[in-house]
Amino acid sequence: MKPRKLKANIYWVGAVDWDRRLFDELIPLPDGTSYNAYLVKGGEKTALIDTVDPSMTNVLIDNLNHLEVKNIDYVIANHAEQDHSGSLPQILKLYPTAMVVATPKCKDLLMNLLLIPESKIIPVEDRETLSLGDKTLEFIHFPWVHWPETMLSYLREDKVLLSCDLFGSHFATSDLYVIDEATVYDAAKRYYAEIMMPFRTVIQGNLKKIEDLQIDVIAPSHGPIYDKPEFILEAYRDWVYTPPKNIVVLPYVSMHGSTKKMVEYFVSALVERGVTVKQFDLAKTDIGKLAIALVDAATIVIGSPTVLVGPHPNVVYAVYLANALRPKLKFASIIGSYGWGGKMVEQIKGILSNLKVELLEPVITRGFPKEENLKALDKLADEILDKHKEHNLID
C-alpha cells in the first residue's frame, strides 16, 4: 500500500502484513497485523516516527521513495522491539545524517538489540520537545506499554498522539482509519489482553499523563488509526479501571468424559443462577479468545483431568498464561477428576501464584461424577454467586 496522508505533511508510511499468523512465535494473529510508521515533514526538519518489522523494510523504503524523501533528520524510536525498530539499521544507511531519538532506556536497548552506535542516538527526557519548524514533537515517557523503555510522541500543533503499541490492534486492513468499530474493538481487546493486561496497574497510573492532552487523532503502531479517539480511550478505561463483571471463565480439558460431564453440569448451574459463563475446550480453543474473556471475568474455574499425577498439559499452559496475563480476577476454583490419585489441584494452585484471587473449595471426583459430586458443584455455583453479590459485581 502506498503512503497515506493523515494531515498536512503527516503521512502513514508503514506496512500491512496481511498474512502473518503468529507473533513472538506465540500469539495467534487471526487477522494479520500492520507495522505503522509515520513521516512528519516540518518546516525545517523531517522526522520518521518508528520503522517497520525487518521482514518489510522494502515496503517502508518504497513508501519513502514514493514521497521523494531526500532527507530524514530524526528517526523517533518510541519502542525498541524489532517490529518497530528492526528496519532502523537500513534506514540509517539510506539516510546517514539521521539521528535516532529515544528514551535513555530505549537507547540502551537499541545499542544491544540492533547494534546502533551510541553516537547516533539522542536520549530524550519525559516531556522534552523537539521542534521540526512549524511542528513540535513532545515525548511522553510511558514505560511498560509493554516494555520498560516505551514512550509516546505527541504532535502538538496537529494534536496527533503517536501512541506506540498502546491502543494498537493486530488487524490488517486497507482502511487508514477505523471504519468498522465493532471489528476493531474485538481486535484491540485481543491486543490489550495479550500484550497490555499484564501491565494494567502501571497503565492505570500512566494514562493520567495524557488526560489533559487535546487529541484529534491517535495513531498507534499496529492496526487502523483512531480519528475518533474517544472510542479507544473509553474502551481502555473500561478494561483498565472498572471492576470485573459477573462472569466465570471456564477453560477445561476432558479425556474420557468425566470432567466434561462436570463442566456441563456446572455451566448449567451457573447460568441458572444468572452468572455469565465463557467455556473453552483447551484441546481446541484459540488461546487469544481465552485471553479476551479474562479481561472482564471475576472468576476462573479450571477444569482438568489428572494425567501422570498432575493437570493435563494443555491446562498447565492455559493456567500459566492466565497467571502471566494478570487479569482482574477475584476468585478461582478447580473442578476435575482422577482415576487413582495425584496432585492435580496442588500443581494448578502453584501456577496461579501471581493472581490475587480467593481460592474457592475445588470439586474433584474419582472417575465419573456422582450425585454427591454434582451437589458439590451446585454448592460451588452458589458460593460464586454469593461472592459476586458481596463484591457488587452484579448489575
Cα 61 to Cα 69: distance, rounded to the nearest angstrom = 10
Cα 120 to Cα 125: distance, rounded to the nearest angstrom = 17
Cα 250 to Cα 197: distance, rounded to the nearest angstrom = 19
> With CB under 6 A as the contact rule, which of the stretches 77-85, 272-280, 303-311, 367-375 interacts with ligand FEO?
77-85
Report whether 250 contacts 279 (CB < 8 A): yes
Shortest CB 110 distance to ligand FEO, Å? 14
Cα 381 to Cα 378: distance, rounded to the nearest angstrom = 5
Shortest CB 186 distance to ligand FEO, Å? 18
Q: Is 20 a binder of ligand FEO (CB under 6 A)?
A: no
Site string for ligand FEO, 152-191 (x = CB under 6 A): -------------x--------------------------
H or E element that contains 295: helix 287-296
Contact pick of 17, 50, 81, 149 for ligand FEO (by CB under 6 A): 81
Contact pick of 41, 84, 312, 328 for ligand FEO (by CB under 6 A): 84
Residue whose CB is nearest to ligand FEO in the complex, by number = 81
Shortest CB 221 distance to ligand FEO, Å? 5
Cα 51 to Cα 38: distance, rounded to the nearest angstrom = 8
Q: Nearest-5° angle of CA 161, CA 126, CA 234? A: 35
> With CB under 6 A as the contact rule, which of the stretches 80-88, 91-99, 115-123, 378-386 interacts with ligand FEO?
80-88
What angle separates helix 181-191 from helix 230-241, to the nearest 10 degrees? Answer: 40
Shortest CB 204 distance to ligand FEO, Å? 19
Cα 214 to Cα 198: distance, rounded to the nearest angstrom = 28
Shortest CB 145 distance to ligand FEO, Å? 8
Contact pick of 41, 200, 222, 260 for ligand FEO (by CB under 6 A): 222
Q: Is 83 a binder of ligand FEO (CB under 6 A)?
A: yes
Shortest CB 308 distance to ligand FEO, Å? 36
Shortest CB 106 distance to ligand FEO, Å? 12
Q: Give 14 or 229: the residue with its C-beta nearer to ligand FEO.
A: 14
Q: Give 158 or 194: the residue with its C-beta nearer to ligand FEO.
A: 194
> With CB under 6 A as the contact rule, which of the stretches 59-67, 79-87, 89-97, 153-161 interacts with ligand FEO?
79-87
Length of the chain measured in residues: 395
Q: Is 41 a binder of ligand FEO (CB under 6 A)?
A: no
| Contact positions with ligand FEO (CB under 6 A) in 255-274 | none
**DSSP per position, 111-152:** HHHS---GGGEEE--TT-EEE-SS-EEEEEE---SSSTT-EE
3-state secondary structure 359-392: ECCCEEEECCCCHHHHHHHHHHHHHHHHHHHHCC
Name the DSSP letter for residue 198: G
Positions touching ligand FEO (CB under 6 A) are 79, 81, 83-84, 146, 165, 221-222
